[in-house]
Structure formats: structure tokens, C-alpha cells
């Protein structure tokens, strides 16, 4: 039986190699890995091609989008600068009487920012055990917020019921959620049928049941272009059907005093008939907080596990390689989004933990510590991450910058004051 390579299939069908790999990844085209490369039998190729050429493919939940309300693309920016000094994280007396629930909360970056803005968490859902431990330690054990925090899968109907019961009788002003975005990312195969892409439907179900005044969703900017914008349209349409008018734009965390260039797409919607508000930037690019300003003082800080500041020990050869990397460039040409050296006199490049490929320190021959990453994500120094160092880095890399959460919280408060 003849065997075809991915490249040969792409050439035969006049499709890109990426398209063929995506078909393999979602299971439409059968393939076998031999010596770390995919091989396709002629029979499997013919079976797939007959379906593919006839326009038959695995059905996507995004295929039924038939219209799009252009009003959602209009953005109303509000001035939050006069409220920016508020610090509800350290000063309980500066908290307002507004409540929120955080779905897909992770370690609590978005929650921390909302608390800084004065909000009170009354519920959260997260499936990563280490992130839940971090959330519980910082929000319940240290800050004393009254919520039941445990490792939970949002897809479980029992989990949803426990959440509903825990907030019964409470005023719910806001539900926020950064549903997992692996399938929406610009990197790798953008798999439409990846089951993780439907987790926002679980959020939709919870919002429809609890009916908060406002809903906020965040994700990677790549979501906006996926399937020519159909993903974005589907999400907006679904929330509109349950009574939420949505507006959407991309915000850059550096505009809100975060020492990092990190862009996120932010959906804001409400069911109470007010105008949705996104936060107006606090800083202009010439005033951005730099990496040096954020972590310069930690260069001489002693190793401190309780502070999440444990430098990685590299071999002498690796240290030499790390020192040679130029700012803004990666150690490895094939991994431009990891092992990247942060610029010193500018905001950091996007902080992430990619299977050990963390960001390189601009001045020292090592990668960043968890605390340095946390600083660049605008976490306060008293926010302590639980779990092994590997899991600490993962939690921080996945988090929404706290100051971006704070900016959103202040903007939503202005909305509610309407």
C-alpha cells in the first residue's frame, strides 16, 4: 500500500501543509506517525478526499452564524484615571459593595485586579489543582473572602449546582471568565472542533442561570480572526440571545501600568440597558513601565522560596548562550515565542510558560524567577503562588495581568453607576 506524506497530500489537493495538519489534528484525515512524521495511506487519503472535495467535514458549532450586529464593534472608552489610586487589595475600606464570580479563575490574576478595583469575590471555578491552592491561599486564607474554593470541572452539572447554591440570595453584579483559549491561539493548529473551544458555552449556561448585571470575557486576540470572524460572531450572538448586549475590543495591559506588552480581547456585555464601557488607557507608550523598573531591585534579592524567588541554575555553557541572546530575540530560532529575552528599558515581551521555555532575564544569565514573572504580570508581592516551581510558572504565565483586571473593574463600576 502506497504511503503519502503531509506535503504530498497538500500538493495533490492544492492546500497548505497547515491545512492538512489541521485535518489530521481534528481527526478528519487518518494518519500514522512514523519517525516523528505523519504518513497517510492511499486508502485513507481517498476516503478523506471524497468527503473533503464534496464539502463534507466535521461539523463545527460555529457554522450556524447567519448575522452579526456591527454595533458590538463600537467601543465606548471611559476615563478611569481619577479612580486608579484605589487599592481594595490592601485596604478593605476602599472596597465597594459590588460582587463578582470568576469562572476559569486560574491562580486569580483577574480576580486580584477586580479586588484592587474594590470588588468582592463570591464564587470561582477552576480545574487546575495547583491554581486552586493558590487562589484559596490568597483570597480566602489571607484576605478572608467568604467563598467555597475547591478544584472543580465547570462542565460537571453538579459543579454548576454547587455554584448556584453557594451564591443563592446574593446580589451578582458581574461574572468574568477567561475560557481556555488553546484552540483559539494563533500558534499551532487552530482546531475548530477542539472541545476546549466550546467551554464558553458552559459559561453561557451559568450566566443565563444566574443573570448577573454584567458579563466580561477575555481571550487571545487571535480569536477575532478565527474562521474569518465567525467565532467572535457566534459568541456575541449567543449572549445576545440570552439578553446581553456585547461590545468587544483588544486591550493592551501596558496601557494600564503593567510592565508588559500583553494584548487580550475583552468582551463586555450587560442586560440592564446601559452602555458598555471599556477602560481608557492610563499611560501613553512613552510612559510605559519598563522591565528594569519592575524587577531591577530583584537582581540582588536573595533566594527566597516563600517569596517565589528561586533562580534557575544553568550550566556554564547555557549561561554563555543566554548572555549572547539579544533583547527581544529567542534562544532558539524555531521557538520564537519561548526562551525570549525581555527588553530592559521597555515593557517586557509577553510573559508565558511554554513547557519550560520561560523568558530570559535581560541582564543575568538565567531565566526569570516566578516572582520576577509575577511582577511583570502586576501581581502584588504578597500574592504567593503554591505548588512546585514548574506549576508556579505555569500559573503566572496563564494569568490575566492584575492591573488589566483592575482597569476593567473600574470601567464596569462606571457602567453600573449609569
Domain match, 219 and 120 both:
yes
CA distance 319 to 361: 11
The answer to whether 100 and 175 are in contact (CB under 8 A) is yes
Q: Among the listed ranges 6-15, 39-48, 85-94, which one has the minimum average pLDDT value? A: 6-15
Cβ pair 283, 257 in contact under 8 A: yes
Same-domain status, 264 and 141 = yes
pLDDT of residue 94: 96
> Could you give the strand order of the β-sheet that contains 37-41, starting from the edge strand earlier in sequence?
3-5, 37-41, 32-34
**Measured CA angle at 64 (ends 61, 69), to 5 deg:** 110
The answer to whether residue 62 sits within a structural domain is no
Tell whether the model's pLDDT for residue 318 goes beyond 90. yes
Contact between 282 and 407 (Cβ < 8 Å): yes
Q: Which helix (H) or strand (E) is 7 found in, with range? A: helix 6-13
Number of domains in the chain: 3
Can you give the CATH number for the domain in which 78 is found? 3.40.50.150
Average pLDDT over residues 337-354: 88
* Residue 155 predicted with pLDDT over 70: yes
Question: How many Å apart are CA 11 and CA 127, to the nearest integer?
Answer: 42
Residues 196 and 165 in one domain: yes
Q: Report, as residue numbers or ranges, the catalytic residues.
A: 181
**Is 120 part of any domain?**
yes
Task: Give residue 250's pLDDT band: very low, low, confident or very high (50, 70, 90).
Answer: very high
Do the beta carbons of residue 114 and residue 409 sit within 8 Å?
yes
| 63 occurs within a structural domain | no
Please give the Cα distance from 128 to 105 (Å, whole number): 10
CB 212 within 8 A of CB 172: yes
Q: Of the candidates 240, 365, 246, which has an alpha carbon nearest to the alpha carbon of residue 313?
A: 365
Q: Residue 287, SS3? A: helix
Residue 65 lies in a domain: no
Q: Is residue 60 over pLDDT 60?
A: no
Q: In this model, does residue 209 exceed pLDDT 50?
A: yes
Write the CATH number for 388. 3.90.120.10
Q: Which residues contact 119 (CB under 8 A, 6 or more apart)?
A: 88, 95, 96, 98, 99, 100, 173, 174, 409, 413
101-110, 325-334, 393-402: the lowest-pLDDT one: 325-334
pLDDT the model gives residue 394: 93
pLDDT score, position 187? 42
Alpha-carbon distance of 364 to 349, in angstroms, equals 17
For residues 41-53, give the mean pLDDT. Answer: 78
What pLDDT, on the 0 to 100 scale, is given for residue 344?
A: 97
Predicted confidence at residue 190, as pLDDT, reads: 44
| DSSP label of 142 | I
The model carries a pTM of 0.83
Residue 252 lies in a domain: yes
Task: Identify whether residues 247 and 163 lie together within a single domain.
Answer: yes
At 148, is the pLDDT very low, low, confident or very high (cuts 50, 70, 90)? confident
CA distances from 277 to 102, 138, 139, 230, 238 (A): 19, 29, 27, 23, 20
Q: Say yes or no: 208 and 122 in one domain.
A: yes
Q: What is the pLDDT of residue 15?
A: 76
Residues 6+ apart with CB under 8 A from 352: 337, 338, 358, 359, 397
Quick one: average pLDDT of 101-115?
97
* Same domain as 298, residue 213: no
Beta-carbon neighbour count of residue 158 at 10 Å? 9
With bands split at pLDDT 50, 70 and 90, how would you rate the model's confidence at 194?
A: low
Burial zone of 378 (CB within 10 Å; 0-12 exposed, 13-18 middle, 19+ buried): buried
The range of the structural domain enclosing residue 44 comes to 3-53
- Indicate whether 346 and 276 sit together in one domain: no
C-alpha–C-alpha distance, residues 326 and 312, integer Å? 20
- Asked whether the predicted pLDDT for residue 179 surpasses 90, the reply is no
Looking at the fold, whether 199 and 174 belong to one and the same domain comes out as yes
Asked whether residue 64 is domain-assigned, the answer is: no
Q: How many CB atoms are located within 10 Å of the residue 79 CB?
A: 15
What does the alpha-carbon distance between residue 296 and residue 280 come to, in Å, rounded to a whole number?
Answer: 28
Dist CA 181 CA 399 (whole Å): 12
Residue 1 has what pLDDT? 57
State the Cα–Cα distance between residues 275 and 222, nearest whole angstrom: 26
173 in a structural domain: yes
Grid coordinates of 346: 521597555
Residues 394 and 405 in one domain: no
Handedness of CA 195, 196, 200, 203 (dihedral sign): positive
Is residue 195 located within the same domain as residue 343? no
Amino acid at each position: 500500500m502506497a504511503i503519502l506524506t503531509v506535503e504530498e497530500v497538500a500538493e495533490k489537493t492544492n492546500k497548505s501543509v497547515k491545512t492538512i495538519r489541521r485535518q489530521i489534528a481534528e481527526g478528519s484525515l487518518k494518519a500514522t506517525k512514523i519517525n516523528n512524521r505523519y504518513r497517510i495511506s492511499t486508502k485513507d487519503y481517498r476516503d478523506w478526499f471524497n468527503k473533503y472535495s464534496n464539502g463534507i467535514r466535521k461539523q463545527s458549532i460555529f457554522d450556524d452564524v447567519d448575522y452579526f450586529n456591527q454595533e458590538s464593534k463600537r467601543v465606548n472608552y471611559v476615563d478611569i484615571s481619577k479612580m486608579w489610586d484605589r487599592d481594595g487589595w490592601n485596604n478593605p475600606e476602599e472596597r465597594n459593595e459590588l460582587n463578582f464570580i470568576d469562572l476559569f479563575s486560574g491562580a486569580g490574576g483577574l480576580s486580584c485586579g477586580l479586588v484592587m478595583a474594590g470588588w468582592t469575590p463570591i464564587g470561582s471555578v477552576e480545574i487546575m489543582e495547583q491554581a486552586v491552592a493558590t487562589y484559596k491561599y490568597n483570597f480566602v486564607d489571607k484576605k478572608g473572602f467568604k467563598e467555597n474554593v475547591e478544584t472543580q470541572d465547570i462542565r460537571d452539572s453538579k459543579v454548576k449546582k454547587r455554584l448556584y447554591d453557594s451564591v443563592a440570595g446574593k446580589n451578582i453584579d458581574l461574572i468574568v471568565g477567561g475560557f481556555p483559549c488553546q484552540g483559539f491561539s494563533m500558534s499551532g493548529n487552530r482546531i475548530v472542533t477542539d472541545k476546549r473551544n466550546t467551554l464558553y458555552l458552559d459559561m453561557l449556561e451559568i450566566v443565563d442561570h444566574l443573570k448577573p448585571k454584567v458579563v466580561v470575557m477575555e481571550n487571545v486576540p487571535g480569536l477575532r480572526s478565527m474562521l474569518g470572524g465567525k467565532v467572535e460572531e457566534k459568541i456575541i450572538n449567543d449572549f445576545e440571545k440570552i439578553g446581553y448586549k456585547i461590545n468587544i475590543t483588544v486591550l493592551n495591559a501596558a496601557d494600564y501600568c503593567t510592565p508588559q506588552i500583553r494584548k487580550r480581547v475583552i468582551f463586555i456585555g450587560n442586560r440592564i440597558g446601559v452602555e458598555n464601557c471599556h477602560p481608557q488607557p492610563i499611560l501613553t507608550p512613552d510612559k510605559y513601565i519598563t522591565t528594569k523598573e519592575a524587577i531591577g531591585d530583584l537582581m540582588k534579592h536573595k533566594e527566597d522560596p516563600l517569596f517565589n524567588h528561586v533562580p534557575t541554575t544553568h550550566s556554564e555553557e547555557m549561561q554563555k548562550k543566554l548572555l549572547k541572546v539579544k533583547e527581544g530575540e529567542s534562544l532558539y530560532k524555531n521557538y520564537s515565542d519561548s526562551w525570549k529575552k525581555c527588553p530592559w528599558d521597555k515593557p517586557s515581551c509577553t510573559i508565558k510558560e511554554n513547557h519550560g521555555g520561560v523568558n530570559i532575564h535581560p541582564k543575568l544569565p538565567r531565566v526569570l524567577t516566578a516572582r520576577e514573572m509575577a511582577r511583570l504580570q502586576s501581581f502584588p508581592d504578597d500574592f504567593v503562588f503554591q505548588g512546585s516551581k514548574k506549576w508556579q510558572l505555569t500559573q503566572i504565565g496563564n494569568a490575566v495581568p492584575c492591573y488589566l483586571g483592575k482597569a476593567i473593574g473600574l470601567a464596569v463600576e462606571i457602567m453600573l453607576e449609569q
